[in-house]
């Protein structure tokens, strides 16, 4: 009997009968819970969680994560409670659904300097890598159906949030598949004309290259088979719209200088095989000088590993050949999710949370200086190393996790903007972080609706409202005794001096 979850099961790595039953059960539970609810597109609501679950299955996520994907909107949108979810699907599923629900409460207000904080907060709040991956899958489907959202301002806000928050997270998690889709969909909304034009160009290139590209792939496959390379697979790809258009700008807007519009990928079992294939490719085709890149010996900052070379085929086709091992292929598409493919940890095992605690400090290194071209921190590599060390040194793990949380707190403005402050910070630091001039107008502060002395230490999650006076004047010198951030203290000192001079 066909079941609406059949696509999900098919996308899973090696589903057991028990997995299948549990997933069908979750589907029926969610379908009933969402009832008559509809998406903006007019489709029954259940289509949305089902699509997300399929994405999660494609990413190789475990059963609990897939089930949590199916249930992800039930707590927020239906009468279903967390207790019911736990009773029926277990503690882990409850934990994941609650995590996603918590994240959906965070709002992006478009204040550029708070984007960084929100990304951090998102990652910190999630507290489990699987929650973030569910959230990314959720966002992907919301972006795919964004055209049904009205008005245009709301669409743009969601697209901007995707570009500023979710694309960088997908990128840092190394989930190439997700990153490319999300950034294209954001561009499609935010720059529709440029997107359409670029897409048209790429599709034309694709059509024109179809025949010679097919011939080239066949030629290469024959050569590989003849060199008794037993185990290999090939695929070809066209660059995604957003990454092509950014690259085009770097190449003086000259499409002929973008050599990797078309690429052929060769996937082989081992690193040794990769180098052998490179030799073979250069034997049958003419390499373009200066275009060989060994990202195996020198991985990109986000951990990407593959050999690249650009060649001209006898059909006069310029194409980039990307050679990688099966493991590199998985990692480049699925990023951290690939860990679930390789070491399927039992969902019953405690310590999954510990795994995340171990990864968090690495994920949180989302800094302002992360231009991919710059020598960025090799955080993903560290993350992979960290993942391997996991379980071996619990103390080290905890120390790392605590390190970040021991130093920072996140608090909110009345509008829901997130402000990231050091521990021990006060309303004065908060005011300075919100707006430099706010300190000069500050008369008092309310924390969670209550008036408090200005030297009160803020706590994680506090909502702070600064009360202002009409005329700015010199900040109180005494504030220097308790202002925690150096920038606020510097500002206060400078203003005190300035006002005294007048
Ligand atoms: Mn959703």
pLDDT in tens, 55-75: 999 888 889 999 999 999 999
Catalytic residue among 37, 43, 76, 235: 76
* Listed range (54-58, 429-433, 494-498) with the worst mean pLDDT: 494-498
Out of 51-60, 119-128, 295-304, 342-351, give the one with best mean pLDDT. Answer: 51-60
Give the whole-angstrom CA distance, residue 136 versus residue 144: 12
Q: Residue 62's pLDDT is what? A: 87
Half-sphere exposure in the Cβ direction for 294 (13 Å, CA): 9
The pLDDT value given to residue 120: 61
Q: From ligand 1's centre to the CA of 219, what distance in Å?
A: 45
What pLDDT score was predicted for residue 302?
Answer: 67
- Per-residue pLDDT, 384: 39
- Helices and strands (DSSP H and E) totals, the chain: 23, 11
- Alpha carbons 242 and 226: distance in angstroms, whole number: 38
pLDDT at 124: 59
Q: How confident is the model at residue 304 (pLDDT cuts 50, 70, 90)?
A: confident
pLDDT band at 119 (very low <50, low <70, confident <90, very high): low
Tokens of 318: 């310029």
Per residue in 236-266, pLDDT (tens digit) is: 999 999 999 999 999 999 998 898 999 999 9
Query: Considering 28, 31, 77, 327, which one is annotated as catalytic?
Result: 77
Taking only the tens place, the pLDDT of each residue in 401-431 is 433 344 667 777 777 666 778 888 999 999 9
State the pLDDT at residue 379. 38
The tokens 């972006």 sit on which residue?
Answer: 143
What's the rounded mean pLDDT across residues 347-374? 36
Cα 238 to averaged position of ligand 1 atoms, centre (Å): 30
pLDDT for position 330 = 83
How many percent of the chain have pLDDT more than 70? 79
User: Among 162, 165, 90, which residue's Cα sits nearest to residue 121?
Assistant: 165
Higher-pLDDT residue of 385 and 289 is 289
Distance 348 CA to ligand 1 centre (A): 26
Instruction: Copy the structure tokens of residue 180.
Output: 């490319």
pLDDT band at 398 (very low <50, low <70, confident <90, very high): very low
**Count of other CB atoms within 10 angstroms of residue 423:** 14
| Helix/strand/coil (H/E/C) assignment for every residue in 343-374 | CCCCCCCCCHHHHHHHHHHHHCCCCCCCCCCC
Task: Give strand pairing partners of 422.
Answer: 408
Q: Is the pLDDT of residue 192 over 70?
A: yes
Cα(347)–Cα(478) distance, integer angstroms: 54
pTM of the complete model beyond 0.75: no
**Mean pLDDT to the nearest integer, 195-201:** 96
- Per-residue pLDDT, averaged over 334-362, amounts to 45
Confirm whether 77 is a catalytic residue. Answer: yes
Angle between helices 192-226 and 271-284 (to 10 degrees): 90
Does 21 have pLDDT greater than 90? yes
Instruction: State the distance from the centre of ligand 1 to the C-alpha of 338, rounded, in angstroms.
Output: 23
Q: Which two tokens stand for residue 429?
A: 């630091």
Query: 2: phi > 0 → left, psi -120 to 50 → alpha, else beta; which?
Result: beta
The phi and psi torsions of 301 (rounded to 5 degrees) equal: -55, -30
DSSP one-letter string for 3-38: -TTHHHHHHSSS--HHHHHHHHHHHHHHHHHHTT-B
Q: How far apart are CA 294 and CA 311, in angstroms?
A: 15
Which H/E stretch holds residue 426?
A: none
Pairing of the two strands 293-294 and 442-447: unpaired
CA distance 167 to 390: 27
- Is the pLDDT at 219 greater than 70, yes or no? yes
Please name the residue that has the structure tokens 């006002």. 499
**Is 76 labeled as catalytic in the residue annotation?**
yes
Distance 49 CA to ligand 1 centre (A): 7
108 pLDDT above the threshold of 60: no
User: Six-digit token pair at 109?
Assistant: 């207000």
Q: What percent of the chain has pLDDT over 90?
A: 50
* Stronger pLDDT, 370 or 113, i.e. the higher one: 113
């Amino acid at each position: 009997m066909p079941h609406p979850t059949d696509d999900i099961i098919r996308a899973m790595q090696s589903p057991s009968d028990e997995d299948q039953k549990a997933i069908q059960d979750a589907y029926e539970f969610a379908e009933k819970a969402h009832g008559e609810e509809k998406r903006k597109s007019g489709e029954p609501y259940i289509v949305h969680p089902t699509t997300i679950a399929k994405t999660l299955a494609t990413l190789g996520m475990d059963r609990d994560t897939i089930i949590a994907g199916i249930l992800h909107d039930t707590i927020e949108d239906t009468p279903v409670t967390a207790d019911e979810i736990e009773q029926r699907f277990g503690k882990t599923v409850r934990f994941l659904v609650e995590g996603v629900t918590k994240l959906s409460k965070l709002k992006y207000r478009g204040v550029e300097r708070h984007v960084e904080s929100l990304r951090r907060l998102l990652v910190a709040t999630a507290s489990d890598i699987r929650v973030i991956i569910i959230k990314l899958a959720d966002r992907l489907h919301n972006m795919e159906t964004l055209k049904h959202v009205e008005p245009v301002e709301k669409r743009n806000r969601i697209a901007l949030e995707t570009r500023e928050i979710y694309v960088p997270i997908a990128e840092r998690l190394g989930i190439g598949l997700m990153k490319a889709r999300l950034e294209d969909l954001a561009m499609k909304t935010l720059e529709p004309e440029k997107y359409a034009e670029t897409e048209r160009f790429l599709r034309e290139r694709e059509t024109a290259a179809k025949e010679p590209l097919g011939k080239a792939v066949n030629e290469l496959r024959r050569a590989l088979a003849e060199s008794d390379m037993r185990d290999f697979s090939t695929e070809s790809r066209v660059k995604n719209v957003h990454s092509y258009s950014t690259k085009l700008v770097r190449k003086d807007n000259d499409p002929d200088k973008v050599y990797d519009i078309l690429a052929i990928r060769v996937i082989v079992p081992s690193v040794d095989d990769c180098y052998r294939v490179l030799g073979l490719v250069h034997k049958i085709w003419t390499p373009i000088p200066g275009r060989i890149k060994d990202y195996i010996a020198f991985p990109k900052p986000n951990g990407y590993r593959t050999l690249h070379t650009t060649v001209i085929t006898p059909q006069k086709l310029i194409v980039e050949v990307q050679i990688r091992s099966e493991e590199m292929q998985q990692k480049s598409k699925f990023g951290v999710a690939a860990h679930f493919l390789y070491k399927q940890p039992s969902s019953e095992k405690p310590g999954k949370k510990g795994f995340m605690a171990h990864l968090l400090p690495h994920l949180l290194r989302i800094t302002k200086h992360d231009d991919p071209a710059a020598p960025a921190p090799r955080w993903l590599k560290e993350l992979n190393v960290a993942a391997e060390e996991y379980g071996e040194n619990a103390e080290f793990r905890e120390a790392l996790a605590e390190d970040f949380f021991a130093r920072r707190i996140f608090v909110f403005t009345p509008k829901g903007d997130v402000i990231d402050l050091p521990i021990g910070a006060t309303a004065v630091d908060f005011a300075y972080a919100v707006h430099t001039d706010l300190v000069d107008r500050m008369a008092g502060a309310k924390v969670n609706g209550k008036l408090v002395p200005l030297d009160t230490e803020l706590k994680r999650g506090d909502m702070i409202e600064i009360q202002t006076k009409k005329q700015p004047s010199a900040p109180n010198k005494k504030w220097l005794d308790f202002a925690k951030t150096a920038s606020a203290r510097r500002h206060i000192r400078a203003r005190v001096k300035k006002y005294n001079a007048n």
